[in-house]
Structure 1
Amino acid sequence: MDSPPEALPRRTLLKGAVALGGVALLPACGSDDSSAGAIVLEDQRGKKLSLDGPAQRIVTLPMPAASIMIAVDQTAEHLVGIHDASWAAAKQSILGTMFPQVLEVPHDVGTQDFAPNVEGILALEPDIVVQWASQGDEIIQPLENADLKVLGVNYGTIEDVGTWFSMFSTALGQPERGRAMATRLDADRLAAEAVAAKQTGRGPRVLYFLRFSEGMEVQGAGTFNEEYVRLVGAENVSSEVEGLAKVDLEQVLDWDPDVIVLGNFDAAMPGDIYGDRRWRDVAAVKDKRVYRAPLGGYRWDPPSHESPLMWTWLSQIAFPDGTDGGLRDKIVDDYKYFYGHTPTQSEIDTILWKDANGGSADYDQFSA
């Protein structure tokens, strides 16, 4: 599994009064000057770039960018280069099933640390290159020195996802698509808040592992993961640490979480914890409440267009009521909207890790 470029920053899920619908409408993020046939974009560095028309050839380096670009475009045909981590994620997930052509896209455009393969990217003749703006100029300047048009992006909040919708859809000549996606995301958040408001009693104490197998890492105070744990009405037990933090078993035993969620950045599964006697006294283990987060067109646990599916899933994990909370129907609806694909019941089972999670409490609620 690939790893995220950095610990998610300490920012609120939505800043101040800026609603997601507004994010996609921000003029700084992009405008389509149709009278001149040109498209003018402003990236998350505040730098402007112009295109003669909708981008036809796009290279993406940030991990979520390929999936989000596909969701905006509803096709992979404009991707001519993606990072190897994005390619691996597509191969491991349903994205490669929905868009098999993405597995044929060159994926040697950068190193594991996102240093660009400038010569290789130039050979792809891209109209734009999407690259991290938050990792320093040294991974952007070589691209700009080669006269490539670089869209610098930041990441870590739902606000950033809304901004990506705006930038990507504008670059593709489909600004209305980005606005519609942002409005949908905003409505999904309001729906999640409404569900959480109906919960009674103390919510479970949840511990999310970004990584587990090769050194345990949790998401503490100020992270996106903490935000959505709280969003559904639960408590993040690792909130006493800041950001991304390494922990040991002693610390986990002290926290004694009610629920453990394993992220999709390594291969750990619930059975790995259930089978380790050192964990037997943890409440989540005793009660069989350890779960692997779903893996769809992109990982559900970090910020993306599929984050509302994570909110629905986690809400049902935290407050099981014998139903799936409409999750399976929402997967079908969202995948038709984002990808033009109607997933089969078997594909939904795969997304939800039904086999790996089948031995955990209340997971039958997600059965077809």
Structure 2
Amino acid sequence: MNTPEALPRRTLLKGAVALGGAALLPGCGTSDTTSEKLVVTDQRDKKISLSGPARRIVTLPMPAASIMIAVDRSAKHLVGIHDASFVAARDGALGTMFPQVLKVPHDVGTQDFAPNVEGILALKPDVVVQWASQGDEIVQPLENAGLSVLGVNYGKLEDVGDWFRMFSAALGKPERGRAMATRLDAGRAAVEAVAAKQTARAPRLLYFNRFSDSLTVQGAGTFNEDYVRLVGAENVSSDVKGLVEVDLEQVLDWDPEIVVLDNFDAAMPDDVYGDRRWRDVAAVKDKRVYRAPLGGYRWDPPSHESPLMWTWLAQIAFPNGTDGGLRDKIVEDYRYFYNHAPTPSEIDKILWTEANGASADYDQFAA
């Protein structure tokens, strides 16, 4: 699986990794409820038979827990999640909106997503969601144990829409997934329309997937580069492919005007501003280093919250004194996805207003 979600740290540090993802298979996310059983087709084009709508679900892929909750508008059917999903829920908004998710067992797999088969069996799941494109060795042990496995791919926006349809089919509410997929496409179209009217020069932006222990950037072919271009900015690391570890000398040569730190490690803008080695980088001199938001899930990788990320990044790239309606969009989307209207202080936490407070133009996101 060639995404920042699925790759273990040791793989990321080996060098370039392309973020393409397998093409969507016809029929993915469909269900057949005309017979006694419910049948869901996963992204392996494999039909999974369930005795009825899934009521006990285990998810291993990092974003799957949040996406499943958004599809279901509830956490009550999750009985096991990956530890990385738990960390995102604990540190982000999901644990506030659904405190029960913090009590769900989160030891169902290793960092490399090898399943804890014995532990998962003890949870008696109706279905287990697992990476399909990381190799059969992390899927077959589950199937050999008699578990129903939904195999998923990831890395492109189309994959996310397919997750919506597949998860909603497994939950017995297929119309919800179709509506969410339509909403996602509309969100992208809206951002494209705004970007098409932008006349200012494209700022040079560098996106870090990891920063604290290694300088791992989002190069050509990544989902992150796609939406950097979507909002009208320039990805300065487009001359390297995939997720690539670089050195400081390379960053100095690129001299980005904007730096974005994602939520896969603990780095904050002050860590960059306070390091004298970075003092000559344009983004540091102009105080344009930002931590990406952390909401119901991390906003940087593909998810149902991606349009919120794109709106935020567009305002970072082209600040105009307003938030582009982002705070209102957060409230609207969270009501739709989570049946929860976040408070101003909850939105501040999502947007890291304190951590990003010293950075240029971040007051545009103030309540």
Instruction: Name the TM-score class by shorter chain.
Output: over 0.9
Q: Which runs of 5 or more structure 2 residues have no equivalent in the other structure?
A: none
Q: Report what 2:360 is aligned to.
A: 361
Instruction: Give 1:38-77 correspondences, 5 Å limit.
Output: 38-77=37-76
What is the rounded CA distance, in whole Å, between the counterparts of 1:151 and 1:12 in structure 2? Answer: 17
* Contact 2:79 2:123 (C-alpha < 8 Å) held by counterparts: yes
Q: Report what 2:80 is aligned to.
A: 81
* Contact 2:21 2:153 (C-alpha < 8 Å) held by counterparts: no
* Contact 1:12 1:222 (C-alpha < 8 Å) held by counterparts: no
Q: Deviations over 1:93-142 (max 9, x none)?
A: 11001000101111111111111111111111111000011111111110
Q: Report what 2:6 is aligned to.
A: 5
What is the rounded CA distance, in whole Å, between the counterparts of 1:183 and 1:361 in structure 2? Answer: 35
**C-alpha displacement at 1:265, in angstroms?**
0.3
* Contact 2:30 2:165 (C-alpha < 8 Å) held by counterparts: no
What is the rounded CA distance, in whole Å, between the counterparts of 2:34 and 2:45 in structure 1? Answer: 24
* Contact 1:12 1:227 (C-alpha < 8 Å) held by counterparts: no
* Contact 2:21 2:154 (C-alpha < 8 Å) held by counterparts: no
Give 1:226's aligned amino acid: E
TM-score, with structure 2 as normaliser: 0.94
Identity %: 77
* Contact 2:62 2:85 (C-alpha < 8 Å) held by counterparts: yes
* Contact 1:210 1:262 (C-alpha < 8 Å) held by counterparts: yes
Aligned residues, how many?
A: 356
Q: Report what 1:302 is aligned to.
A: 301
**C-alpha displacement at 1:235, in angstroms?**
0.4
Please, which moves more after superposition, 44-53 or 145-154? 44-53
Q: Report what 2:248 is aligned to.
A: 249
Secondary structure at the counterpart of residue 130 of structure 1: strand
Give 1:42's aligned amino acid: T
What is the rounded CA distance, in whole Å, between the counterparts of 1:293 and 1:35 in structure 2? Answer: 44
Q: Which runs of 5 or more structure 1 residues have no equivalent in the other structure?
A: 16-22
* Contact 2:319 2:361 (C-alpha < 8 Å) held by counterparts: yes
Query: Does 1:91 pair with 2:90?
Result: yes
What is the rounded CA distance, in whole Å, between the counterparts of 2:303 and 2:31 in structure 1? Answer: 24
Instruction: Give 1:138-153 correspondences, 5 Å limit.
Output: 138-153=137-152
What is the rounded CA distance, in whole Å, between the counterparts of 2:323 and 2:183 in structure 1? Answer: 21
Please, which moves more after superposition, 181-190 or 32-41? 32-41
**C-alpha displacement at 1:31, in angstroms?**
3.2
4+ long deviations beyond 2 Å: 6-13, 30-35
Secondary structure at the counterpart of residue 357 of structure 1: coil
- Per the alignment, do residues 74 and 172 of structure 1 end up closer, same or farther by CA in structure 2, a change over 3 Å counting? same
Give 2:252's aligned amino acid: L
* Contact 1:61 1:82 (C-alpha < 8 Å) held by counterparts: yes
Q: Report what 1:20 is aligned to.
A: none
* Contact 2:57 2:80 (C-alpha < 8 Å) held by counterparts: yes
Give 2:185's aligned amino acid: D
